[in-house]
Chain A
Amino acid sequence: DQQVKQNSPSLSVQEGRISILNCDYTNSMFDYFLWYKKYPAEGPTFLISISSIKDKNEDGRFTVFLNKSAKHLSLHIVPSQPGDSAVYFCAASPSGNEKLTFGTGTRLTIIP
C-alpha cells in the first residue's frame, strides 16, 4: 500500500522555466512533509519541508505548497537550472513520529 505517491515518474523542463513536482498522500495522520533530492548511487539530500500548520514554505528557488484537504503537496523550482536534474522524493511522517514514508520519486531533467 503506497501511502505516498508521486504519479509522474519523470519530468522534463526547459532551463529557466518553472519545475513543478507533485506528491499525493493517503494517510491523514501525516503532518510533516519533506522533499529530498537524490543523485544516482548517492543518499538523498534534504531540500525543504513543511508542517501541516502551514500551506506554503519558501527557501530560495524552492517553494513547497501543501493542500491538506486534497492531501496533496507540490514542489516548485524556479528558475530551473541544469544542476537541478536529479530524482526528487517527497516524504511524510506522522506527528511525533520520525519515521519517514517516501514516495516513488520523480526524475527531473532540466534541458539547457
Chain B
Amino acid sequence: GAVVSQHPSRVICKSGTSVKIECRSLDFQATTMFWYRQFPKQSLMLMATSNEGSKATYEQGVEKDKFLINHASLTLSTLTVTSAHPEDSSFYICSARDTRYEQYFGPGTRLTVT
C-alpha cells in the first residue's frame, strides 16, 4: 500500500529558531501534498496545499511567510516553521495524494517550541 513518511517524528526547538519537517511519499509519486496541524483534542486543520513545481496554496489565516512550504519533487514536500514561537507547538501531519486521488497520511511530527 501507499506509504508516506515524515521526518523528524518529534522535535524540540527554542523560540526564534526555524524547524524543517519533511514529508515523503515512499512508493508513489504525489503531485499534490497537504499539510495539516492538530492541537490536542481538536480536529486536523488544513494549513496548505503543496503542488510540485509551483507555489503552495495557503488556507485563510495561515501565514505563508511563517510556514514555508517547498514541494521540490514528486516525492518530497517540506514545511519550515520559521521563527518558531511556543504557540506553534503542535502536531503537524502531511498527506500525499496519488493518481487515484486518494490521500495517504504521514505519521505526523510533534513540534515543541520552548
Contacts and interface: CB of A to CB of B under 8 A. Distances in A.
Interface in A17-59: 36, 41-46
B66 to A, nearest CB: 21
B93 interface: yes
A44 B46 contact: no
A2 B32 CA distance: 25
Interface centre among B36, B41, B44, B102 (most CB of A within 10 A): B44
Given A98-B103, A100-B103, A43 B43 contact: no
Interface stretch (A62-70, A74-82, A101-109): A101-109
A46 B107 contact: no
A34 B76 CA distance: 25
Main DSSP-derived SS at the A contact region:
loop
A82 B16 CA distance: 43
A99 B49 contact: yes
A96 to B, nearest CB: 10
Main DSSP-derived SS at the B contact region:
strand
A98 B97 contact: yes
B97 A43 contact: no
Q: How large is the interface on A (under 10, 10 to 19, 20 to 34, 35 or more residues)?
A: 10 to 19
A43 B108 contact: yes
A41 B91 contact: yes
Interface string B73-114: 000000000000000000101010100011111111010000
A89 B44 contact: yes
Interface of B: 4, 6, 9, 32, 34, 36, 41-46, 49, 91, 93, 95, 97, 101-108, 110
15 contacts: A9-B41, A41-B91, A43-B93, A43-B106, A44-B44, A44-B105, A46-B102, A46-B104, A98-B32, A98-B97, A99-B34, A99-B46, A100-B103, A105-B41, A105-B43
Interface of A: 2, 4, 9, 36, 41-46, 89, 98-105
